[in-house]
Structure 1
């Protein structure tokens, strides 16, 4: 497994096109692997190509890729990077790729990590008993947090979202004044950017290319977790969480908790 980081040059028209269309970015990412064909479908139980776009500032947009094979992002450098600078630095060529396996193998039960995840939190609803269930996005921060805090989802993922110390909560026991659970006050979890993306998804049917509009709600979570099942967490980190993984969702990444913050908590 490999972890790759690519900084996007937002001044380039090619970068703006990729950032505005998850389908275009997906195609560009998958083109980084010469042996993969557009018709290939990942096995549900095997590591897959995952990607995520992080925008930390207006001019600092990073593309992260986790993949079973080492990617070649030359075409992305040409479309959405700094080609001249990359030519002067042949060692990095405009992106950085590191083996991911050693990090995955070091994960142990009880480890605490900071995490970041962009996901597509959804649930199924129906208005009448006779109506088939429809997949619908969670739109409020509390329901979006509830999606990730679901005990079964955490168990399958091999992690547990950490709770805040009692003296760090704004409300007693993490509840509102009406007695409802207030996830954001109880857990080390926050909802950052929420985006609604609309794009056309095209496919070939009966020899002709057809497209249909797709609307996708994505949410970026940040927080802290504890490893409860290292093997399950390795699967989560290499297979993703939730739906829309082809469109920049599902990639969970971990980072050390800063020492000063660790001591304060």
Structure 2
């Protein structure tokens, strides 16, 4: 995998929905492929742009056009069972509930009430969500939960707008299954990956 530090100019960083579109430009010829990269906005400055950490299976191709690759390295994750790791994860903790107001859908001859995603707003709920996501490969030791402002976005082509609630998790975990850890690092954790959620960054304690 590759880890890159990327600068997205302010004109493309005003709307959170455009981050994902901008980063696709670093993978020419793969615009219609299934996304295989994750990212996290590390800093954003009005009038300047956003600093983004990008993790990808393919090597991004930088050039004179934006966004710009500021630094890049290839890395492999090789950690044993029992290894303690510091981690950072921006996530969108949610639960899915049935909502009869949304109507029903037909599937395999059966009728189901449509579901909606509801954000988990209380810290104890967010911690429990994270523990469930980690339980197959790691044990949570310490955790700092940092609530963040709501992210508002616009889908210009569809003329729709929306919002998601993100949380920044920092802490220490102990690996209980190294192979499953690698899968989750590569695939990401939770929803809203197109909005910069899901990238699990780890480092030895």
Is structure 2 residue 124 aligned with structure 1 residue 136? no
- Cα deviation for residue 96 of structure 1 reads 1.2
- How many angstroms apart in 1 are the aligned matches of 2:12 and 2:174? 34
Deviations 1:197-249 (A, max 9, x none): 111225xxxxxx43321211111110001111111111111110011112101
Is structure 2 residue 147 aligned with structure 1 residue 147? no
- How many angstroms apart in 2 are the aligned matches of 1:223 and 1:60? 28
Deviations 1:143-195 (A, max 9, x none): 21221022xx2234x22111xxxxxxxxxxxxxxxxxxxxxxxxx11112413
SS of alignment partner, residue 76 of structure 1? coil
More strand by share: 2
Aligned positions of 1:230-249 closer than 5 A: 230-249=178-197
- Cα deviation for residue 252 of structure 1 reads 0.4
Q: Which runs of 5+ in 1 are unaligned?
A: 9-13, 43-47, 79-93, 163-187, 203-208, 258-265
- How many angstroms apart in 2 are the aligned matches of 1:211 and 1:61? 24
Instruction: Say if 2:11 and 2:49, in contact at 8 Å, map to a contact too.
Output: no
- How many angstroms apart in 2 are the aligned matches of 1:61 and 1:225? 29
SS of alignment partner, residue 148 of structure 2? strand
The change in CA–CA distance for 1:72 and 1:193 in structure 2 (over 3 A counts) is farther
The change in CA–CA distance for 1:236 and 1:223 in structure 2 (over 3 A counts) is same
- How many angstroms apart in 2 are the aligned matches of 1:154 and 1:217? 20
- How many angstroms apart in 2 are the aligned matches of 1:18 and 1:160? 38
Instruction: Say if 2:13 and 2:49, in contact at 8 Å, map to a contact too.
Output: no
Equivalence for 2:52: 63
Q: Which runs of 5+ in 2 are unaligned?
A: 104-112
SS of alignment partner, residue 108 of structure 1? coil
SS of alignment partner, residue 66 of structure 1? strand
- How many angstroms apart in 1 are the aligned matches of 2:152 and 2:44? 22
Is structure 2 residue 20 aligned with structure 1 residue 53? no
- How many angstroms apart in 2 are the aligned matches of 1:127 and 1:211? 24
TM-score by length of 2: 0.82
Deviations 1:102-138 (A, max 9, x none): xx1x21101001100011110023477x964321111
More helix by share: 1
Quote the RMSD (CA, aligned, Å): 2.7
- How many angstroms apart in 1 are the aligned matches of 2:72 and 2:149? 28
SS of alignment partner, residue 181 of structure 2? helix
Structure with bigger gyration radius: 1
The counterpart of 2:71, out of the listed 89, 92, 96, is: 96
- Cα deviation for residue 30 of structure 1 reads 1.1
Equivalence for 1:195: 149
